[in-house]
Amino acid sequence: MRVALLAMGILAAGCTELPISGGAPAVGQAPIGAQQALFTEYPARLFNAAAAFCDQPGQTVIQPNQNEVRCESLPDPESAAAIILGYNGTVEDLPSFVIAFLGGASAQGYVVTADSYIRVPQRNGGVQQLRFEDAKVAEDLSDILASAGGRPL
């Protein structure tokens, strides 16, 4: 999946101000554009592969715990400038394209939410997440979860 797909979505982005981490969404409570799947057990292979995938220049793996991995990619300078200017961002902490996998146990099994958004640090210290609905990105996220053994929800 290419980060460039995420950049195209900025034109149709919806905005939310949310914490970056805080646990996986409950079944059926995924944010706009995110996909969920149910696993019979903890999908270590999925989390390991997500971290290994994030190895290009300008990409950073963030894995605060075993149930969460994010790949943050810096946009090109022109896109970064447009995002900063258009969404009250700051040059001290640049925006990034994010692909995240969040997991947690549920009564049905282990639920993983695959998510993508643009993270925009704000001048006031908060963080805005630009979200959008993109059928191709949703399909790609769903395919990743299914290929790791998850049953789409």
What tens digit of pLDDT does each residue of 32-79 get?
788 999 999 999 999 999 999 899 999 999 999 999 999 999 999 999
1 has a pLDDT exceeding 50: no
Residue 79 sits at φ, ψ, to 5 deg, of -65, -40
Residue 82 tokens read as: 């447009």
pTM of the model: 0.79
Average pLDDT over residues 113-127: 94
Which string of DSSP letters, residue by residue, matches 135-152?
A: HHHHHHHHHHHHHTT-EE
Share the mean pLDDT of the chain.
84
How far is Cα 60 from Cα 62, in angstroms, rounded to an integer?
6
**pLDDT per residue as tens digits for the range 124-146:** 999 999 998 889 988 999 999 99
9 and 137 Cβ atoms separated by less than 8 Å: yes
Residue 132: its pLDDT value, please? 83
Question: Taking CA 140 as the corner, what is the angle to CA 135 and CA 143, rounded to the nearest 5 degrees?
Answer: 120
